Amino acid sequence: MHRLRRLTAEDLEHLAGGRAQVRRFRARESQLDDLGEYVVPTGGAALSDAQLRQLGLTGAERYLDGYVRLSEVETLKEKYGLIEDPSGNVILRGVSVEEAFEDGATPVAAVFLDLAGSLNTRESAAGLREASSLIAAVAA
């Protein structure tokens, strides 16, 4: 607990950085719902419009961000014709340890850390702010 009191959200994001192999793709918007059946959503994709508004964000741009079995990333790439794109609208986070996602939901701390790692500066700031709040609550 003592180390947690000194930990910043940025530190936690860095320490948790190896939890998944992150790949970004471009997909047709019409494919996002079908593709979403295979992933456990995270980041902004895991939040409702009301939750996004509470964080000062909007869900205007449609994208998919989620966890999937590492072994399924290539299969989904082929099945949906996903094109590697560093600013794409699909983020697949391949994991080999799936126990944290067994109930089909991403733990809230991971949602905020994934939001903190967003290329969008507003999302990143909101994720860091919320991760800091979680750290403070646990360390109190």
Pairing mode, strands 83-84 and 21-26: antiparallel
Q: What is the pLDDT of residue 28?
A: 94
Give the rounded percent of residues in the chain with a pLDDT score beyond 90.
Answer: 59
User: What residues contact 39, with CB distance under 8 A and at least 6 apart?
Assistant: 64, 66, 67, 68, 92
Say if CB 92 and CB 68 are below 8 A apart.
yes
| Placement of tokens 């014709």 in the chain | 81
Q: What is the pLDDT of residue 2?
A: 55
DSSP 3-state assignment of 56? coil
Torsion angle of C-alpha atoms 84, 90, 96, 102, degrees rounded to 10: -160
Q: What is the pLDDT of residue 5?
A: 64
Average pLDDT of span 64-81: 95
User: Has residue 4 got a pLDDT over 80?
Assistant: no
User: Has residue 119 got a pLDDT over 60?
Assistant: yes
Q: What is the pLDDT of residue 60?
A: 62
**Whole-structure pTM value:** 0.86
Q: What is the pLDDT of residue 125?
A: 94
